[in-house]
Structure 1
Amino acid sequence: MAPITGKTRLTGIIGWPIAHSLSPVMHNAAFAALGLDWSFVPFAVPPERLAEAVTGLSALGVSGFNVTIPHKVAIMPLLDRITPEAELIGAVNVVDNRDGVMTGYNTDGIGLLAALNEGFGFEPAGKSVLVLGAGGAARAAAAALGSAGASRIALANRSLESAAGLARALEPRLPGTAFSVHGLAALAERSFLEDFDLIVNTTSVGMADDAFPGLSLAGLKPGLAVYDMVYAPPVTPLMKEAVACGVPNANGLGMLVAQGEAAFAIWTGRTPPTGCMARALAALPSPGNP
């Protein structure tokens, strides 16, 4: 990295906790590759000090920053503008600061679609997708897939109430997509699973080497793909099941990189060199947090 001077443009990420974020590695590698006098640092911001932090980052002239747990929703009323994509998803993961005007974006959906295309050549238009989970990541996934033309999105979650609430929030905004809500017990039914073209895990299941009880991918229709947003461990039980059944699969690192590349472009107007961020992550001894 070049020395930091009074001319260096500053970017970063806010979250709580934030010490193990991979974003500084990705972005600083891209800045260096393009010879940009920019730097990216993590900022640990406790929830009760979020408003102060946003005001401070604006006052300091920070060019932009990523937003991660637990601030993605809470930051929205603190910003000057929210893009339509972020408003639909109901969360912000990127803030751009232009002349003191703070604009909130969400690149999670862009990252997912890019990762699916690169990993499987998957295009959502006309496809049927099973989304596991009903939290913020599930909303980003469902909004992106629906906006890209998915004909059906089934939400499977432990809490039917949460899944139903997500479906109600998205249905009026995505009239071309049919939504349905299911409990996790449905995952044990082959007749339920065999209609899908893609399964996306948006939950934390797999991080502790745990699995979805009863879920079997054996015998499902050819062409099915599995995308697990979990990337630590790099091969989750869901992915192992997919490998055993010959189902194409990938973990969440591709989405992490793609959303980071989109954020980088928002701030700098430049595209990171192809593969630069991914190579920076691959050089690390083990994955961390986004």
Structure 2
Amino acid sequence: MTERIDGHTILIGLMAYPIRHSMSPMMHNNAFAKLGLNYAYLAFDITNDKLSDAVKAIRTLDMRGSNVSMPNKQKIIPYLDKLDPAAKLCGAVNTIVNDDGILTGYTTDGTGFMKSLEDENLDIRGKKMTLSGAGGAGTAIAVQAALDGVAEISIFNAKDKFWDNAERNVDIINKKTNCKATLHTLEDREDFRSEIADSTIYCDSTGVGMKPLEDETLVIDPGWFRKDIIVYDTVYAPRTTKLMKVAQKAGVTHVFNGLGMVLEQGAEAFKLWTGKSMPVEYIRELLFKEDK
């Protein structure tokens, strides 16, 4: 790393909280080194109240851009100059590109999610998904899945600050895509169980399962899962979440954490910043080596 950094090194950031667990710095810095690109990627603890100053720093320091994660994916939008069509539809941003002081927001989470399933030779087009969560990642996943041809999405959310966003997601999907979306409350456990039982894939896009909620899961009973359902947790720290353990106890064949999504959404962002393709297989080997 020190051999690459000089007076011409271009800075890219990651703004989120908490963020010290992130695999993104390792992923991007190794990709830069592999391709001989003079960039450096650093993580910054940024909460909503620091967003204004953080965005100013992108312009002031002439950073090439930044990734954005919880809790900032929606709150950051008013500070940007433009949104790409997918980010506008999602109402969430996870990647910022700085072109001569013009900041454009993109979302690569949804494409990363769908590509990660494709990497596993799984196709959910024309099928039903049950999705918990309607924050930045959940929104991107729902919208992209609908755009890519998923037939039906049952979105579950608690009656919390994201409920209005969940309503918006359902409305947009039903109006702008051929997918049928419905909204359900997580408090109705029987409805939750029933919708999962009728789905090809269950995806949890909430923060449940990561610190400080690493010992919790929205699905407690292994009996909720068929062996042939796909169970996907967007959390990747810890590598095996409580939800994944429940699915494994049920004998589910296809159980995933969020590393595949992180890899593929990162590859999309990498290309936006550098114009070059990330060496995906090389980075995959680094990301997944702890799982071997």
TM over 0.5: yes
* Partner residue in 2 for 1:173: 176
Match of 2:93 in 1: 92
The 10-residue stretch of structure 1 (23-32 or 272-281) with the greater mean CA deviation from structure 2: 272-281
Q: Identity of aligned pairs, percent?
A: 37
CA contact (8 A) 1:11 1:38 kept: yes
The alignment's TM-score, normalised by the length of structure 1, stands at: 0.87
1:273 to 257, 273, 279: 279
Kept in 1, the 8 Å contact 2:128–2:152? The answer is: yes
**In 2 relative to 1, CA 244–40 (structure 1 residues): closer, same or farther, beyond 3 Å?**
same
Which amino acid is the alignment partner of residue 156 of structure 2? A
Q: What is the aligned-residue RMSD (CA, Å)?
A: 2.5
Unaligned runs of 5+ in 2: none
Q: Supply the distance in 1 between the matched residues of 2:51 and 2:135 (Cα, whole angstroms).
A: 21
Select 2:202's aligned residue among 199, 207, 230: 199
**Counterpart position of 1:71:** 72
In the alignment, which residue of structure 2 is the partner of 1:288? none
TM-score (structure 2 length as normaliser): 0.86
Residue 172 of structure 1 aligns to a residue in which SS? helix
Distance 1:268 1:196, change over 3 A: same
Contact 2:47-2:72 at 8 Å conserved across structures: no
**2:84 is matched with which residue?**
83
Cα deviation 1:139-169 (Å, max 9, x = unaligned): 1111111011111000123329554443234
Structure 1 residues 37, 165: CA separation in 2 closer, same or farther (over 3 Å shift)?
closer
| 8 A contact 1:110–1:144 mirrored in 2 | yes
Q: Which has the higher contact order (CA 8 A, sep 6+)?
A: 1
> How many corresponding residue pairs?
282
Mapped to 2, the partners of 1:109 and 1:182 lie a distance apart of 21
* 2:126 matches 1:122: no
CA contact (8 A) 2:128 2:151 kept: yes
Distance across 2 between alignment mates of 1:3 and 1:181: 49
Q: What does residue 32 of structure 1 align with? A: 33
SS across alignment from 1:182: strand
Helix, strand or coil for the counterpart of 2:280? coil
Which residues in structure 2 correspond to 1:10-25 (within 5 Å)? 10-25=11-26
C-alpha displacement of 1:13: 1.4
Instruction: Give the CA deviation at 1:235.
Output: 1.6
Question: Is the 8 Å Cα contact of residues 198 and 225 (structure 1) preserved in structure 2?
Answer: yes
Q: CA deviation at 1:177?
A: 0.9
Please list the CA deviations of residues 226-269 of structure 1 after superposition, one character each: whole Å capped at 9, or x if unmatched.
11112222222322232233321111111111111111111111
